[in-house]
Amino acid sequence: MLIFEKSKKGRHTAHHRSEAMGDCSDIPKHFLREEPLSLPEVSELQVVRHYTQLSQKNFSIDSHFYPLGSCTMKYNPRGIHRMASLTGFLSRHPLASLSHSQGFMAIAFDFQEMLKEITGMKGVSLTPMAGAAGEFAGVLMIKAYHHARGEDERNEMLVPDSAHGTNPASAAMCAYKVKEIPTDSQGNLDITALKKAISPKTAGIMLTNPSTLGLFEENIQRVAEIVHEAGALLYYDGANLNAILGRCRPGDMGFDVMHMNLHKTFATPHGSGGPGAGPVAVNERLLPYLPIPMVDKQNDHYHWLTEKERPHTIGRLSTFMGNAGIIIRAYLYLRLLGREGLARVSEYSVLNANYLRKRLQQLGYTLAYPERRAAHEFVLTLKREAKEFGVNAMDLAKRILDFGCHAPTTYFPLSVPECWLIEPTETETKEELDHFVEVLKDLRREMKETPEIVRTAPHTLPVVRLDDVKAARELDVVYEWAH
């Protein structure tokens, strides 16, 4: 029910402003409305209840087990938000003078240094304002590198079928032709196919490691050799960095350039669509091309690096220097965890994923890659259940909502039929994981005995099963009252 529907003519809430503040007598008459605003007429308590009840309908990481994982939203420690909300951070204007910005710039500089350490790279720019912007910057740097060497004929970007969907999109944005490389039966990049696809026209390859299948690319060194021998570069998509934090580094694996999603791995709150932050890190080869501005330090004084100091830069990607609020939060996250804490993040995220993986296998669920240890996430294929019981991956995902578990990613990666991609993250306790296992245990019985209940789920939520096709084809989000 909309708050407008609760409106009763003449009902109102006491004024919270003094008469003096509300004095509008100096506004010329011809600027004043003739009709009152069409606002809901409700009491204060009605307003409080209405919005409290709305907030209680949220199905979120603050209230429920949420196996979408770091790729979407992991838990963001509350203390970080509190510290990042200090007036000194919030009130700093991006056009403030250098002398008034030294505190923030010190954070940005230290954070650049920390990211270099974490990634094993030689240079970092914090400017890109989202993961996709980071990818775009990274691919542009690859392009600038080849251009500087007079190798403009390199117009192809290789992308494995287990990559993130944004990778081919970013390559296409930079006018590269995308060539897809298949995955072998063990979930690794198919080396034979790679060798066949690579040529003097190859500009680079974009990889996520661990891949979207939740598997560590076992042949990464071999891949790096093949790609570098051909004169091409390796791009690392940092979406799954959560799995390797503090344990191994893309720079050491042979990658030339990468982006990180601060809003995912480094725990800053975001909704789909932002705000995000996608810093890029590069090795020596690409250092001159990093987007500006970056922060430099001389004699304990911080200053911006711009076009003047960095003539070969690919340029600016945002009005100022990225999403300052996100950068501060990510910095605080690293400071709270420290080196050892950071390694514990990946250890626990991998441990939690493998614990769930094993328990679900014992219940009779089918793993997409049963012989491979998972990284921070793993893939189930529910095609057997779909065949035997007539309930598909989406039905099961909807049904677990009734038991207080958010659905995992469904139907992705595309290469695995009827799949679930499950990522519990490092912050879930064993009790929470066991609860999820119990739910899926009960569900196996339900699939056999009463599949109809699963097919028509959810049953207990404020919104029941939606008509996906109608929603996509005839989207109408305007309330009937307003038509």
Rank residues 165 and 274 by Cβ distance to other proteins and give the closer one.
165
| Binding region for other proteins (CB under 8 A) out of 194-202, 318-326, 443-451, 464-472 | 464-472
Q: How far is CA 200 from CA 48, 174, 181, 256, in A?
A: 65, 18, 17, 18
Q: Please report, as residue ranges, which positions from 432 to 451 form the binding site for other proteins (by CB under 8 A).
A: none
Rank residues 8 and 470 by Cβ distance to other proteins and give the closer one.
470
Smallest gap, in angstroms, from Cβ of residue 46 to other proteins?
37
Query: Can residue 411 be called a binding residue for other proteins (CB under 8 A)?
Result: yes
Rank residues 32 and 472 by Cβ distance to other proteins and give the closer one.
472
Cα–Cα distance measured from residue 181 to residue 234, given in angstroms and rounded to the nearest whole number: 14
Task: By CB under 8 A, name the one of 410, 432, 441, 465 that touches other proteins.
Answer: 410
Smallest gap, in angstroms, from Cβ of residue 418 to other proteins?
9
Rank residues 323 and 381 by Cβ distance to other proteins and give the closer one.
381
Task: By CB under 8 A, name the one of 300, 431, 468, 476 that touches other proteins.
Answer: 468
At 56, the amino acid letter reads Q
Rank residues 72 and 352 by Cβ distance to other proteins and give the closer one.
72
Give bridge partners of residue 436 from the DSSP assignment: none
Smallest gap, in angstroms, from Cβ of residue 74 to other proteins?
24
Query: Can residue 463 be called a binding residue for other proteins (CB under 8 A)?
Result: no
Task: By CB under 8 A, name the one of 175, 414, 461, 464 that touches other proteins.
Answer: 414
Rank residues 355 and 412 by Cβ distance to other proteins and give the closer one.
412
* Residue 3: closest CA among 40, 32, 33, 45: 40
Tokens of 310: 């960095």
Smallest gap, in angstroms, from Cβ of residue 400 to other proteins?
18
Q: What binding mask, one character per residue, do residues 76-115 give for other proteins by CB under 8 A, x or -?
A: ----------------------------------------
Query: Can residue 157 be called a binding residue for other proteins (CB under 8 A)?
Result: no
Query: Can residue 412 be called a binding residue for other proteins (CB under 8 A)?
Result: yes
Nearest 5 degrees, angle CA 158-CA 162-CA 167?
50
Residue 387 CB coordination number (10 Å)? 10
Rank residues 318 and 410 by Cβ distance to other proteins and give the closer one.
410
Q: How far is CA 20 from CA 28, 227, 473, in A?
A: 18, 72, 52
| Binding region for other proteins (CB under 8 A) out of 70-78, 244-252, 407-415, 432-440 | 407-415
Q: How far is CA 301 from CA 5, 102, 320, 384, 414, in A?
A: 58, 7, 19, 63, 50
| Binding region for other proteins (CB under 8 A) out of 84-92, 135-143, 405-413, 434-442 | 405-413
Residue that has been written with the tokens 């680079």 in this structure: 204
Q: Where are the beta strands (DSSP E) in 407-470?
A: 409-410, 419-422
Smallest gap, in angstroms, from Cβ of residue 392 to other proteins?
8
Query: Can residue 148 be called a binding residue for other proteins (CB under 8 A)?
Result: no
Rank residues 50 and 383 by Cβ distance to other proteins and give the closer one.
383
- How many residues lie near other proteins (CB under 8 A)? 10
Task: By CB under 8 A, name the one of 37, 469, 478, 482 that touches other proteins.
Answer: 469
Q: What binding mask, one character per residue, do residues 415-434 give for other proteins by CB under 8 A, x or -?
A: --x-----------------
Give bridge partners of residue 258 from the DSSP assignment: 236, 281
User: For residues 387 and 468, is the Cβ–Cβ distance under 8 A?
Assistant: no
Q: Please report, as residue ranges, which positions from 23 to 42 form the binding site for other proteins (by CB under 8 A).
A: none
3-state secondary structure of 295: strand
Contacts for 286 with CB less than 8 Å, ≥ 6 apart: 123, 141, 142, 144, 145, 233, 256, 257
Burial class (CB in 10 A: 0-12, 13-18, 19+), 29: exposed
Cα–Cα distance measured from residue 158 to residue 177, given in angstroms and rounded to the nearest whole number: 8
| Binding region for other proteins (CB under 8 A) out of 95-103, 127-135, 321-329, 411-419 | 411-419
Cα–Cα distance measured from residue 108 to residue 328, given in angstroms and rounded to the nearest whole number: 8
User: For residues 375 and 353, is the Cβ–Cβ distance under 8 A?
Assistant: yes
Give kind and range of the element (H or E) at residue 435.
Answer: helix 430-449
Smallest gap, in angstroms, from Cβ of residue 365 to other proteins?
17
The strand order across the sheet containing 156-160 reads 123-125, 280-282, 257-259, 233-237, 202-207, 156-160, 177-181
Number of H helices, E strands in the chain: 15, 13
Q: What is the DSSP string of 219-240?
A: THHHHHHHHHHTT-EEEEEGGG
| Binding region for other proteins (CB under 8 A) out of 24-32, 226-234, 424-432, 466-474 | 466-474
| Binding region for other proteins (CB under 8 A) out of 33-41, 181-189, 241-249, 467-475 | 467-475
Binding interface with other proteins (CB under 8 A): 394, 410-412, 414, 417, 468-469, 472-473
